[in-house]
């Protein structure tokens, strides 16, 4: 969902979008953080990745991560760079889980799967931190809302999360450019998900529970989703603004110092829980 001018997110078929997104993300994989071991592991939902920093100390709460991609593209592999930097700067293991994409499966399948993944992940854990970007931001709140033991969630991290907003000041300012996430493309994504009407989509989001970090990219059409969510939840909310940054800017960790500084702020919040 970041700047990909070779892809037409409104008109290209899903198969082309998926292949192009994978190829684009592969070009930044070499920016993954040093000192982080990356291993393939199994989830009930399929193969995923584990990121273990050299500074990891046993007993620290693990992070369960849900990738972005508009619910139609992406995988743990497309988010290797981002997750490796989260692991390195937080000193925690990050587990990136796969989930079924739309339109192959439609909502509420993703909400149910997020909860099932989190439930299985916490069977042998006392606590967990749930994190995700863009579409993964919604997955985080669906997971906590539906999992068997939501009390195990220590904190929630939403990186420029998508929560159903399709109009407003941020869309007017940033939703019509030729690069990055476009409002028209976002409408297509919600359509593939089966959520042209976002009432049920929003109703499934967790309304209370663990502290929630909302990371907002200033130059992002869905920036206003953060305000909507903060006004419609009883979670203790912390806001973190990334000035001048577009949607998906944290994929630039390893090649952009401002992105790394923002990830450090996110890591500091996690470690202060």
Is residue 43 in some structural domain? yes
Rg (CA), the chain: 17
**Separation of alpha carbons 261 and 241, rounded Å:** 12
pTM, entire model: 0.97
- Residue 122 has φ and ψ, to the nearest 5°, of -95, 5
Residue 7: pLDDT over 90: no
Per residue in 10-62, pLDDT (tens digit) is: 999 999 999 999 999 999 999 999 999 999 999 989 999 999 999 999 999 99
Is residue 8 in some structural domain? no
Is residue 9 in some structural domain? no
Is residue 265 in some structural domain? yes
Per residue in 102-158, pLDDT (tens digit) is: 999 999 999 999 999 999 999 999 999 999 999 999 999 999 999 999 999 999 999
* Residue carrying structure tokens 């409104």: 10
Per residue in 170-223, pLDDT (tens digit) is: 999 999 987 779 999 999 999 999 999 999 999 999 999 999 999 999 999 999
What is residue 157's predicted lDDT score, i.e. its pLDDT? 99
**What H or E segment, with its residue span, contains residue 63?**
strand 63-66
Check which CATH number belongs to the domain holding 70 and give it: 3.40.50.1820
Is residue 135 in some structural domain? yes
Is residue 191 in some structural domain? yes
- Determine the 3-state secondary structure of 50 from DSSP: strand
What is residue 177's predicted lDDT score, i.e. its pLDDT? 83
Is residue 61 in some structural domain? yes
Q: Say how many domains are in the chain.
A: 1
Residue 5: pLDDT over 60: no
Q: Could you tell me the residue range of the domain that residue 119 belongs to?
A: 14-271
Is residue 4 in some structural domain? no
């Amino acid at each position: 969902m970041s700047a990909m001018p070779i892809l037409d997110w409104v008109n290209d078929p899903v198969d082309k979008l998926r292949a192009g997104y994978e190829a684009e993300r592969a070009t930044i994989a070499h920016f993954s953080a040093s000192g982080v071991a990356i291993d393939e592991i199994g989830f009930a939902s399929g193969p995923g990745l584990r990121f273990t920093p050299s500074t990891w100390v046993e007993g620290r709460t693990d992070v369960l991560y849900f990738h972005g991609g508009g619910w139609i593209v992406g995988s743990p592999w497309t988010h290797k760079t981002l997750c490796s930097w989260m692991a390195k700067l937080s000193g925690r293991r990050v587990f990136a889980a796969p989930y079924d994409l739309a339109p192959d499966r439609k909502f509420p399948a993703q909400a149910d799967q997020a909860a099932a993944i989190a439930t299985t992940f916490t069977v042998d854990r006392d606590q967990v931190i749930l994190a995700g970007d863009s579409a993964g931001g919604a997955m985080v709140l669906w997971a906590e809302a539906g999992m068997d033991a939501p009390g195990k969630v220590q904190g929630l991290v939403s990186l420029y999360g998508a929560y159903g907003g399709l109009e407003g000041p941020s869309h007017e300012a940033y939703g019509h450019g030729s690069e990055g996430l476009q409002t028209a493309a976002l409408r297509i994504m919600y359509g593939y998900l089966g959520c042209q009407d976002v009432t049920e989509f929003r109703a499934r989001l967790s309304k209370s529970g663990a502290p929630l970090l909302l990371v907002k990219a200033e130059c992002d059409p869905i920036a206003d989703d953060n305000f909507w969510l903060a006004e419609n939840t009883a979670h203790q909310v912390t806001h973190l603004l990334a000035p001048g940054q577009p949607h998906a800017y944290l994929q630039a960790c390893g090649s952009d110092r401002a992105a790394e500084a923002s990830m450090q702020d996110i890591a500091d919040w996690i470690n202060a829980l």
